[in-house]
Structure 1
Amino acid sequence: MTAMTSTIQPRTTAARWPIRVHCAGAVFLGVIGFGHELALHIFNGADVAGEEVINELSRNTTTALFEGGREVTVFGLNTGYSVGMGLFGFLFPMLAVVAARTAPGLIARWSLFNWICVAAAGGTFWISCLYFPELIVTFAGLSTLCYAAVLVAGPRPSTE
């Protein structure tokens, strides 16, 4: 009787922390976008008197973004920007999570995908430092740190 040797190679398991940290970064950004939509466009109460004056002025002031283009009110333009950015802030993280789960190879050290995630979170962090309350700054900063950790210390791209 001859001894049989196994031809099954040991399976290596990939580290799970990069996808978890990537998803955590996405959650922080998603909370900002979702919270923005809820707080400013769904459950926003009545404006104070000073805001009402500004709202009335902006509803009566029109502008065209391009010469000969469609005229819109400043209020409508501001509201559109706000809703659009809140929606982007909510949907970009969802897209980042779905992409990473569908194609785990995207979560690799120094990948373009990770650079884009860091840029989105870092840009949000920078803007929030300039204009937004501390909670938004904190969430955007944590998101940036999560994405940056995966960018710098994530798994090396496979050469298979």
Structure 2
Amino acid sequence: MTPPTTHTGTSARWAAPVHMAGATLIGLIGAVHLLVVHIFNGPDSAGEEVVDELSRRTPTALFDGDRRVSVFDLNTGYSVGMGLLGLLFGVLVISAVRAAPQLIARWSLFNLGCVVAAGGLCCIAALYFPLPVIVLSGIATLCFAAVLIAGPIEQR
């Protein structure tokens, strides 16, 4: 039976705050999205009102074929769900690292998953979202990538 993995104290000092910063940025994107788009959004423009009305009147069948919702409902649900997932991704990553700091090791699957999640968000942001989301997700990706590539080496 192998003993639990540990990290050297000096090499891990910078990795945890950098990793936490990346998680915080992704969580912040999700929280701000929920606040700005779904809670404190102002009135829609005339063009947005037209699109909203058309999408409210356009029903679509879900996969089971039984339940029908509007395109507006689907778009709203996807948007709220993605904002919530972004927020909870940050919370989950921070909680995991606080409970198990050995997750932050060079080339760990955990770090790779964080890089892929943040990098995927950055790519989507570059295609569809405003500049602040692109910048924040890019910085988060760099934070996770730095830990993945140059973080502490796992010792057994």
Mapped pair 1:123 → 2:120: yes
Structure 2, unpaired ranges of 5+: 1-7
Q: Which residue of 2 aligns with 1:6?
A: none
Q: Which residue of 2 aligns with 1:41?
A: 38
Residue of 9, 16, 22 corresponding to 1:13: 9
Q: Could you tell me how far 1:65 is from its partner in structure 2? A: 2.7
Matching residue within 24, 36, 41 for 2:21: 24
- Give the Cα separation in 1 of the matches to 2:69 and 2:90: 30
Q: Which residue of 68, 72, 75 maps to 1:71?
A: 68
Structure number with greater CO (CA < 8 Å, separation at least 6) is: 2
RMSD: 1.1
Secondary structure at 1:72's aligned position in 2? strand
Alignment TM-score, normalising by the size of structure 1: 0.89
Question: 1:13: Cα distance to partner?
Answer: 2.6
Structure 1 counterpart of 2:149: 152
Report the residue type matching 1:125 in the other structure: C
Q: Output the CA distance in 2 between the equivalents of 1:110 and 1:61.
A: 47
Residue type of the alignment partner of 2:131: E
- Alignment partners' CA distance in 2, 1:135 and 1:68: 39
Query: Which consecutive residues of structure 1, in runs of 5 or more, have no partner in the other structure?
Result: 1-11
Instruction: Please point out which of 85, 90, 100 is paired with 1:88.
Output: 85
Bigger Rg, structure 1 or 2: 1
Give the deviation of 1:92 after TM superposition: 0.3
Q: Number of aligned residue pairs: give it.
A: 148
Following the alignment from structure 2 to structure 1, what is the Cα–Cα distance between the partners of residues 65 and 147?
A: 47
Instruction: Look up the equivalent residue of 2:47 and give its one-letter code.
Output: G
